[in-house]
Amino acid sequence: MKDRSLLMIPGPIEFEPEVLQALGAPTTSHVAPNFIDAFGCALENMRKVWLAPEGQPFIVAGSGTLAMELAGANLIEPGDRALVLSTGVFGDRFEDLLTRHGADVTVLHAPIGEALDLNQVEDALKGGEYKLLTVTHVDTSTAVRMPIRSIGELAQHYNVLSIVDGVCSVAGEEIQQGDWGLDVVLTASQKAIGVPPGLALLVASPRAMEASSARSSSVRSYYADWAKWLPIMTAYEGRKPSYFGTPAVNLVAALDVSLRQIVDEGMSARFARHELLADAFRAAVQSLGMGFVATEPKDQANTLTACRYPNGVAAGDLLPAIKQAGVIVAGGLHPKIKSEYFRVGHMGAVCMGDILATIGAIETGLRSVGHQFEAGIGVATALKWQAEQED
């Protein structure tokens, strides 16, 4: 009997063996030649994964929240106006973050389970002198996906800097940072990037770098100041050591391995794989009599799904039963509907076998709590969906 369950939460995810091998290797010096090369290669491959050939990548020890801080702290000065587009818990975080850095913040809240209407966004941009806007590409609390290509176009049109929280989307959802005119796209290592937690990752456009350099006041955060980190990134990419703070050596080595794997897969193929698996999973969930927090198919993320419990089924009964069947999923996160849904991550190294195992465990759990459905319908539906897409 295996001694661990399949981890299908929205991060940390399941990791490739080669990534874990790099993580578990003996720790080297941060000025050792092999580490310098790994750091430099990781920076170069970030541009390929973000599809941002002219962008400036940053790799800093910290969480996804630090990545948000790296963006906001460097682009906001006291008195600047900022527009926050919120589709859940993580959109709301930007209001607090930017306010602490002195911004005058306006928040557009989408109804739970919906994306914001682009007309509403444009009306707000027309009516205010905003320096920047923030948008959560996929909010982990609702699994709602925003149309960031269109958001980027609006930001460019109204000369507003755009910050994309891609923590739950980068390397899983399609993002073409350069072509779409997105100024900052940030993420964390433990999601679709496929590396254990501990790295804040960000790519800034030339326009964002220029805006940061043109500040009239110092960045309020010492650790998050791009001016402190830029010489480090430049040095390592040039295969020279440098120092501001000690890098997370093993995590960066693991990142180098994972980014190489992602680039080898190819971004178009990777986006298509995530879409296929997400669609197959959602078809199976519907066949079992469940719905989704994200109400419109076009707004449903490919990296995770927020599944509503069937009538009469409670979280305290179903989630332990799914775990007993060998798969770990996540409970609800949005405070207003926390007890109404659970979340399944399907990103990174996930394959159809993982999807089928997860559906099978959900079926087992549902059966154990008395939910009525045709036995095996979920797994059969997913397989049928896959076959139809591959024909």
Instruction: Kindly state the average pLDDT of the residues 57-68.
Output: 98
Q: Is the CB of residue 210 less than 8 Å from the CB of residue 86?
A: no
Q: Is the CB of residue 94 less than 8 Å from the CB of residue 88?
A: no
pLDDT value, residue 1: 43
- Is residue 19 helix, strand or coil? helix
DSSP 87: S
For 73-111, how does the pLDDT look when each residue is reduced to its tens digit (9 = 90+)?
A: 999 999 999 999 999 999 999 999 999 999 999 999 999
For 296-329, how does the pLDDT look when each residue is reduced to its tens digit (9 = 90+)?
A: 999 999 999 999 999 999 888 999 999 999 999 9
The residues, ordered by sequence, that sit 6+ positions from 146 with a Cβ below 8 Å of its Cβ are 85, 87, 115, 116, 135, 136, 137, 138, 299
pLDDT value, residue 75: 98
Q: Quote the CA–CA distance of 332 and 334 in Å, as a whole number.
A: 6
Q: Quote the CA–CA distance of 54 and 206 in Å, as a whole number.
A: 7
pLDDT value, residue 283: 97
- Is residue 61 helix, strand or coil? strand
The residues, ordered by sequence, that sit 6+ positions from 60 with a Cβ below 8 Å of its Cβ are 66, 67, 70, 199, 200, 202, 224, 229, 245
Q: Is the model's pTM score more than 0.85?
A: yes
Helices 89-100 and 64-75 pack at an angle, to 10 degrees, of 40
Pairing of β 341-345 and β 81-86: unpaired
Q: What percent of the chain has pLDDT over 90?
A: 96
Q: Quote the CA–CA distance of 208 and 185 in Å, as a whole number.
A: 11
- Give CA separation, 156 vs 24, 29, 183, in Å: 43, 42, 9
Q: Is the CB of residue 161 less than 8 Å from the CB of residue 131?
A: yes
Whether 339 has a pLDDT exceeding 70, the answer reads: yes
**In 128-266, where does DSSP find H-type helix?**
148-157, 177-180, 206-213, 226-237, 249-265
For residue 332, what are its two tokens? Answer: 């609800």
**Domain ranges, ordered by start, for the chain:** 6-11+266-390, 18-265
CATH 3.30.930.10 fits 18-265, yes or no: no
H or E, element range at 83: strand 81-86
Instruction: Kindly state the average pLDDT of the residues 49-55.
Output: 98
pLDDT value, residue 2: 60
Residue for token pair 């804040």: 200
Q: What percent of the chain has pLDDT over 70?
A: 99
Whether 207 has a pLDDT exceeding 90, the answer reads: yes
For 108-148, how does the pLDDT look when each residue is reduced to its tens digit (9 = 90+)?
A: 999 999 999 999 999 999 988 999 999 999 999 999 999 99
For residue 102, give the nearest of 78, 130, 80, 84 by alpha carbon.
Answer: 78
The identity of residue 391, as a single letter, is D
Q: Quote the CA–CA distance of 238 and 39 in Å, as a whole number.
A: 10
What superfamily would CATH give domain 6-11+266-390? Answer: Aspartate Aminotransferase, domain 1 (3.90.1150.10)
